[in-house]
Structure 1
Amino acid sequence: MTADSSIDEEPALTIPRPPRFWASPFGWSFAAAAGVALACSILLLSTAVQPPAQPVVLTLKGVMASKADFFDDKEVQRLLRGHNIQVEVTRRGSREVALEVTGQQSEQYDFAFPSGQPAADLIKNDRQAKGKYNRTTRLFTSPIVLASYREYAETLSRNGAVTTHHRPPETSLYYTLHTGKFIELGENGSTWNSIGIQEQRDVNDRVIANGNRVLAHSSGVCRSNSAATYLSLLAFVRNGTRPPKDDAEVSNVAQQIQPLITAAGMPESDLFKSYVTPEGKSQGPIVVVYEHQYFAYQIEHVRRHERVDDTRVLLYPEQEFQSDPEFVALTPNGHRLAEVLATDTALQERMKELGYRVTEGADVRGTRQLFDYLRVNGIIPPADRTDLTSADFPELGLLENLIRTVGRCQQ
């Protein structure tokens, strides 16, 4: 049998290849979706690692005298940052603050904070006359006092010029200054040696000698509120316990009290810093300061040493001159700062820690609050005043005349 040369081949199994991925409709759809997802992921990740936006900090510029110490305080700065506020301070004497604000050609400051009302009145009167923004706020008070050392206070006591607040006198930090008698000692040319300072001994049991006249040292009256206030006190007492009423009285009383003014030639805050150094007595055994400076020092001394510094004392003049510093907002942002200071309880607590009498409710002078705070912190406060005699400033124009005459000021 002859084999058939034609062999039927089995059909080949053909498996069709799927289309290429990117050539398929699904591929492009997937790619588009994946791209969107990747972009969203990147956006979410970048958002997650990006730090939160920082709040805008409002920087306010102020010009002030001794109250610059308040804004230099680290805790005050921290509390203000909680309100997104920081303060840049330009230091001047109180009278210089007024002259700078009234003479400025542009509004470079948001607020002024002179240490006393006369300088604040100069600013307010000028801005009202010029139709410029000004709003005032009273935050705290601090009377003018004379800071001294126990040996000198006891010497004045034996000469009838001071009376201790507490007994026994060696535990008292406070004395009432009989201003008229103190002025007499200075006018008579009395020296510390002539009134018996040599009967006192220092902490090293050495006899104290001082041939200088019995006078209080202050910053310059041409620039300093504390010095101008002390000047007004001397004028009030020497003018028959009333302020000079006209130019003739100003001229007369200026001649009498000019020899009693001894300027240390340094800012108010620096004068106090010198007082609390070991060399303070060489600067002057009696210096004109603000009460809050002394209390802030004692509060810190108790914190560091668990006791008061009983070698340094305060003399409160019989005729009290209450220093009422006024915060003068020169812009709306300046007023915003004033509102924060007046309403933030933590800031007001810090004011007491720095020795200020904080105004609140019926306690308009803040005396009770401050004295309670001192007691809690181991410091006996001054005795409550039973004689509420207060000295008055001369009328503003007459005060300026008195300052220029006694201080021989250039402006």
Structure 2
Amino acid sequence: MSEADRPHVSQEPRLRTRDRNRPRARLPIHVLVALPLALAGLISLLVTGNALRPFDRITTIEARMASKSDYFKDPEVRRLLLQHGLRVDIHRLGSRGIATQSLKGMDAVFPSGQPAAKQILDRQDHSVRSVRPFVTPLVLGTFRAYAETLEKMRVATAQPTPGGGKTLYYNLDMHKFIGLLDGKTGVDQDMGDQDGDETEERADTWNAIGFDRRGGRSNSGRVLVRTSSVCESNSAGTYLSILAFVKNEDSTPGAGQTDKTKAMKEAREVAGKIKPLIDLQGMWADEQADSYLSALGESIAPISLIYEHQYLAHQIEYRQKHGSQDTDRVLLYPSPYALTEPQLISLSDKGDRLVDVIENDPRLRQRAIELGFRVRFSGEDGTSDQLNAYLGEHGIQVPTPNRDETKVYEPDLDVLQEIINSVGSCPPPVLDAP
């Protein structure tokens, strides 16, 4: 029989099984290493309640803020807010700019002081939620050689340091300091030229008050305070309130005046006295803290108007990086003094959520202390105990209260507006509906 004629026989299919003697396939070593880490991460998410966090809906809050936006830009604050499902999109603007410009599309605003906050609240056609989480004094940031020059002229007084060493803080007598800003020629005999040298320079230049006799340095520039725009900035407006208080014989302009016409006349008269003290700085500057704390800060301006928390936050960060304090930069605490009270104001339901979180989360209050703020507790105006304790624990000199406790209260809003507009020649505001 030929091969072609043979019948074809099909073999039954065979089920292939694993050879028991063949070694098992093993997981790659990098997978084995990663498994415990992945398991630990999962357990951590389950314990903290964040296992479903990637699936949570994050609410974005549109907010217009002034200098206190520093707080909401802090990475730890942003992390804590995300745990509440909130993210804040910051639109930066000066406090008075916030108060006088459109608020359409905003969920919250955070002006740095009460005058701007009152303007914003007055524009609302319904009650809104708000919170004042902390306070911070207005201060003048300068550099050691300039502070020591003012000390020699008996305009500033160094605060004592525990155990000696270089102080970070000076108390500034604003009555005497204004005498250096007023443009009069000659050295004030009451303040005293300690070296007895005659000088033909103007009394309001740094060299005229002895700066060039300290270490061979020289500065023929005027003694002045660099501020941001008085038309937009809460800090500049508050500084005007201090100058106005001093120039008005330690009295708030317009206070107790029932006749509005007379109050406005008094405001214009005071504005005329303080305008020469600040308008020689030239073009208005932006927020001062960034310039003052930069590497070129001393070349930009000898004295800058800032908030205390900005300086303290710098010292805390500097200590963490360098293991020591920044003793080149120092603060001048003006006397009389002024506190600023930032106010977070809600303009929508989403803004209400942010106000509620800021008001009730103790971790956010603690973080504010770590950023140099004097946090409000239990409805008090403000407290320094927690801040002082934190500074001491981190090797930062604690500022001591001045014995002169005279506080400047800002004038009524209409009077303050008149002073600001007169000094700054501010354009009229253009307001939209709230």
C-alpha change, 1:333 and 1:290, in structure 2 (3 Å) is same
Letter in 2 for 1:218: T
TM-fit CA distance, 1:364: 3.5
TM-fit CA distance, 1:266: 3.0
Segment drifting more, 64-73 vs 169-178? 169-178
Q: Is the 8 A contact 1:95 1:223 kept in 2?
A: yes
Q: Is the 8 A contact 1:219 1:264 kept in 2?
A: no
1:310 and 1:183 map into 2 onto residues whose CA distance is 26
What is aligned with 1:344?
361
What is aligned with 1:242?
251
TM-fit CA distance, 1:386: 3.0
C-alpha change, 1:278 and 1:126, in structure 2 (3 Å) is same
CA deviation profile, 1:217-260 (whole Å, cap 9, x unmatched) = 11010011101110111011011011211111111111111111
1:191 pairs with 2:205: yes
What is aligned with 2:123?
126
User: Aligned with 1:217: secondary structure?
Assistant: coil
1:216 and 1:312 map into 2 onto residues whose CA distance is 15
2:380 and 2:320 map into 1 onto residues whose CA distance is 27
Q: Is the 8 A contact 2:226 2:301 kept in 1?
A: yes
1:277 and 1:395 map into 2 onto residues whose CA distance is 36
1:144 to 116, 138, 141: 138
2:359 and 2:394 map into 1 onto residues whose CA distance is 24
Letter in 1 for 2:378: G
Letter in 2 for 1:172: T
1:266 to 263, 285, 290: 285
User: Aligned with 2:320: secondary structure?
Assistant: helix
What is aligned with 2:111?
114
1:263 and 1:87 map into 2 onto residues whose CA distance is 35
User: Aligned with 2:339: secondary structure?
Assistant: coil
Q: Is the 8 A contact 2:243 2:274 kept in 1?
A: yes
Q: Is the 8 A contact 2:67 2:112 kept in 1?
A: yes
CA deviation profile, 1:90-132 (whole Å, cap 9, x unmatched) = 11111001112xx44x4x11111001110000011121xxx23
1:165 to 138, 159, 164: 159
TM-fit CA distance, 1:362: 7.2
C-alpha change, 1:338 and 1:332, in structure 2 (3 Å) is same
1:212 and 1:118 map into 2 onto residues whose CA distance is 33
2:379 and 2:342 map into 1 onto residues whose CA distance is 19
Letter in 2 for 1:409: C
Q: Map of 1:79-118 to 2, 5 A cutoff?
A: 79-100=80-101, 103-104=102-103, 106=104, 108-118=105-115
Segment drifting more, 243-252 vs 223-232? 243-252
Q: Is the 8 A contact 2:129 2:355 kept in 1?
A: no
Give percent identity, aligned residues only. Answer: 40
1:156 and 1:332 map into 2 onto residues whose CA distance is 51
User: Aligned with 2:395: secondary structure?
Assistant: coil
1:258 and 1:397 map into 2 onto residues whose CA distance is 18
User: Aligned with 2:267: secondary structure?
Assistant: helix
Length-normalised TM-score, structure 2: 0.77
CA deviation profile, 1:278-310 (whole Å, cap 9, x unmatched) = 321222101100000000000000000010001
1:317 pairs with 2:334: yes
What is aligned with 1:293?
310
Letter in 2 for 1:214: V
1:214 and 1:388 map into 2 onto residues whose CA distance is 26
TM-fit CA distance, 1:145: 0.3
Letter in 2 for 1:177: L
TM-fit CA distance, 1:156: 0.3
CA deviation profile, 1:69-96 (whole Å, cap 9, x unmatched) = 1111111111110011001111111100
1:320 and 1:95 map into 2 onto residues whose CA distance is 21
CA deviation profile, 1:136-158 (whole Å, cap 9, x unmatched) = 21101111000001110010011
1:170 and 1:196 map into 2 onto residues whose CA distance is 23
Q: Is the 8 A contact 1:164 1:176 kept in 2?
A: yes
What is aligned with 1:397?
414
Q: Is the 8 A contact 2:171 2:402 kept in 1?
A: no
Length-normalised TM-score, structure 1: 0.81
Count how many residue pairs are aligned between Structure 1 and Structure 2.
347
Larger helix share, 1 or 2:
1
What is aligned with 1:18?
none
Q: Is the 8 A contact 2:338 2:409 kept in 1?
A: yes
Letter in 1 for 2:205: T
User: Aligned with 2:55: secondary structure?
Assistant: coil
TM-fit CA distance, 1:333: 2.1
Structure 2: state its 5+ residue gaps.
1-50, 185-202, 255-262, 429-434
User: Aligned with 1:142: secondary structure?
Assistant: strand
Q: Is the 8 A contact 2:292 2:300 kept in 1?
A: yes
